[in-house]
Amino acid sequence: NIALAEAIASSKNNFAVRELVDLLGTKDKALRSDALKTLYEVGYRSPDLIAPFISQFKNLLSSPDNRLVWGAMCAIDGITTAKPEAVFMILPQIMAAVDRGTVITRDHAVKTLTKLAAQERFARTAMPLLLEQLRTAPLNQLPMYAEMAATVVMPPDASTLRAILETRLPELPTAAKKKRVEKALKKLRAA
């Protein structure tokens, strides 16, 4: 799947992308999963190729098949760099998927929110959603989310982010995780 994605991305093969998108509707679960994996791998390399199909990925966010949900979220994460406006428009569906999705779904939603929060035009909506993810993040994910949020937080939200991280810091089970959050806090205090 990765080799195919690399070939599709490097050749800018729109026809192959369309064929893969068409496979998302097949009844063959393995074929659907392979097509989705290839599509989100294409999206990591050349997001413009899969961006026209954001509505198909949005529709997969409500699938009862978790594999399709997190695969769609991976694709949407890739699309965010190319078409942030389109991703911004489907934030309600993204957040609904996070509420019932896997860790992979949440990880890519947080990456998506981080990319949106980095842009002033989306920050007022995306940053509160990102902060909420930090409040409720599983302990294993908290350091990574803290590092991402610390790179994009704007001054009005820095104190809120700092407070969330300071509150959650004692919950962390290992010294390594604490050190990562402390490093993010140090960056926030210096800003």
Neighbours of 141 (CB within 10 A): 17
pLDDT of residue 1: 85
Spatial distance between the Cα atoms of 187 and 185, rounded to a whole number of angstroms: 5
Among 169, 160, 166, 92, which Cα is nearest to 126's?
Answer: 92
Looking from the CA of 159 toward its CB, the CA atoms found within 13 Å total: 1
Residues in the chain predicted with pLDDT less than 50, given as ranges, are none
Supply 191's token pair. Answer: 């800003």
Spatial distance between the Cα atoms of 21 and 15, rounded to a whole number of angstroms: 10
Question: Going by C-beta distance under 8 Å and a sequence separation of 6 or more, which residues neighbour residue 27?
Answer: none
* Helices H / strands E in the chain, number of each: 13, 0
The CA-to-CA distance between both ends of the chain, in Å, stands at: 42
Spatial distance between the Cα atoms of 73 and 54, rounded to a whole number of angstroms: 10
